[in-house]
Structure 1
Amino acid sequence: MSAPEVSHGRGGAGNISPDNTQYVDGSIVREGPQGSHGDGAFSTGRGGGGNIGDAGKPPGPRTDRDVVPEAAVRPSADEDHHVGRGGAANVELGSKHHQQKGQKVTDGKTAAGATGQHVGLADKLKNKLMGVFKK
């Protein structure tokens, strides 16, 4: 039996292809007794004071644990990666880029006192005009 054909995108014949991916349940499961353990406050919903049970009791040691299935583990996002549909605004830079100081701005010149931030067109015009008046 061949793999089912699925759509991979917004539409169009070029986005329909067979999908041989083995899908598994990768949800995180909390194991242990549910509800009140008699050891302090616990949440019974999405938030708000009405969803807190045993609010007046002091907390005790935690008796449950979180289990993360192997299928739910993803690679680190510390590297440069692309999100979304495209374009420079959808590029997420890794931690190495955020740690660098004194890098050059996009036009190849380092602005006075710049720490690697982008210099916008309005700032460039303002600096050029102010330079004319300082002469």
Structure 2
Amino acid sequence: TKAFIAAALTAVDSIHLTKLKTPLALVFTSDEEIGCLGAKRLAATRPFRVRYAIVGEPTSLQPMRAGKGYCLAEIVVRGREAHSAYPQLGASAIFRAARLIQAIEEIAEELKSDRRDGFDPPYTTLNVGLINGGSAK
């Protein structure tokens, strides 16, 4: 976040860099809203090894040892169109998507049993954030 960058730069200004026994690197990545492209490039090149890192994500000033992570998926469900009077001649992508969403919801419920203290909520979460489909009226 921008506030973290300002805080980190202010903190570094108070350090006597010539007295450090090991190098200090400040690494800021970009494009977090569109897939963390900067972080991916950095990880791919592995320009240096680190012993400690401070990640400037919002945690309400609570130190954390790990983050839950994030994964985004786009799923396309296909069907076969048919006249509404003869649905047996087709395959409804909407019905298929509904079954898929129900399966995702069941998996989300199962994940609640694998708890990890220190996270809020203390389990992996799943979310179906957007669905659209169909063109018939």
TM over 0.5: no
Of Structure 1 and Structure 2, which has the larger fraction of its residues in helix?
2
Pairwise TM-score range, normalised by the shorter structure: under 0.3
Of Structure 1 and Structure 2, which has the larger fraction of its residues in strand?
1
After TM superposition, the score normalised by the length of structure 1 is 0.24
After TM superposition, the score normalised by the length of structure 2 is 0.24
- Which one has a bigger Cα radius of gyration? 1
